[in-house]
């Protein structure tokens, strides 16, 4: 499977107050020789380097298989679990709304763009939806990561 990290901030242009800007994205795809497994130590080291060289306020994460990494990184940055249940349903809808209102700026990373284009939506109730893959083989990890980052930036830090 793939792994993505997305860093966002308030948009630097005062005319775009309330918008977020994607500042950094990174993707890790396991090689065929790794039997489909990611090297979490490599990912943790790269995240640690990024945290040390940037003003990172919070690292939110999907708890599935990442609890140990988050505990290690919590020594240098505030870490918070992001629920893949109710929190994601609200976050995914909020990201769709923000994109439609042109409130998300990015620098054109081709893989992030691909992951967003691969995404479809599954309505889960009033004001809630889940990002899903258009087809099974496509990757949407970057889009989901952007959804989580956008939600935390908009609610937790009141941009």
Q: What is the pLDDT of residues 16-42, one digit of tens each?
A: 999 999 999 999 987 665 566 788 899
Q: What is the pLDDT of residue 118?
A: 97
Q: What is the pLDDT of residues 143-154, one digit of tens each?
A: 999 999 999 998
Q: Got the DSSP string for 55-94? A: ----EEE--TTTHHHHHHHTTTS-EEE--TTHHHHHHHHH
Q: Hey, what are 56's tokens? A: 């990172």
Residues 6 or more apart whose Cβ sits within 8 Å of residue 132: 119, 120, 121, 122, 140
Q: Hey, what are 23's tokens? A: 């500042």
**Which backbone phi and psi does 119 adopt, to 5 degrees?**
-80, 145
Q: What is the pLDDT of residue 39?
A: 84
Rounded to the nearest integer, the mean pLDDT of the chain is 91
**How much is the average pLDDT of 60-79?**
92
Q: What is the pLDDT of residues 43-58, one digit of tens each?
A: 999 999 999 999 999 9
Report d(CA 71, CA 61) in Å as an integer.
Answer: 11
Q: What is the pLDDT of residue 159?
A: 46
Whether residue 84 has pLDDT greater than 80:
yes
**Which backbone phi and psi does 26 adopt, to 5 degrees?**
-145, 140
Q: How far is CA 43 from the centre of its chain?
A: 14
**Which backbone phi and psi does 154 adopt, to 5 degrees?**
-75, -35
Report d(CA 67, CA 90) in Å as an integer.
Answer: 23
In b/e form, how buried is each residue of 121-158, taking b as 16+ CB within 10 angstroms? eeeeeeebbbbbeeeeeebbbbbbbbbbbbbbbbeeee
**How much is the average pLDDT of 75-81?**
95
């Amino acid at each position: 499977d793939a792994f993505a990290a997305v860093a966002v901030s308030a948009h630097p242009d005062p005319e775009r107050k309330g918008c977020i800007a994607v500042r950094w994205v990174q993707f890790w795809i396991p090689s065929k020789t790794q039997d489909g497994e990611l090297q979490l130590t490599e990912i943790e080291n790269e995240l640690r380097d990024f945290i040390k060289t940037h003003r990172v306020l919070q690292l939110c994460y999907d708890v599935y298989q990442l609890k140990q990494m988050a505990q290690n990184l919590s020594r240098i940055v505030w870490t918070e679990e992001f629920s893949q249940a109710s929190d994601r349903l609200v976050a995914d809808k909020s990201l769709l709304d923000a994109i439609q209102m042109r409130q998300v700026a990015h620098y054109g990373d081709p893989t992030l763009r691909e992951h967003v284009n691969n995404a479809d939506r599954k309505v889960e109730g009033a004001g809630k939806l889940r990002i899903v893959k258009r087809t099974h083989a496509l990757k949407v990890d970057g889009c989901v990561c952007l959804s989580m980052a956008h939600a935390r930036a908009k609610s937790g830090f009141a941009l």
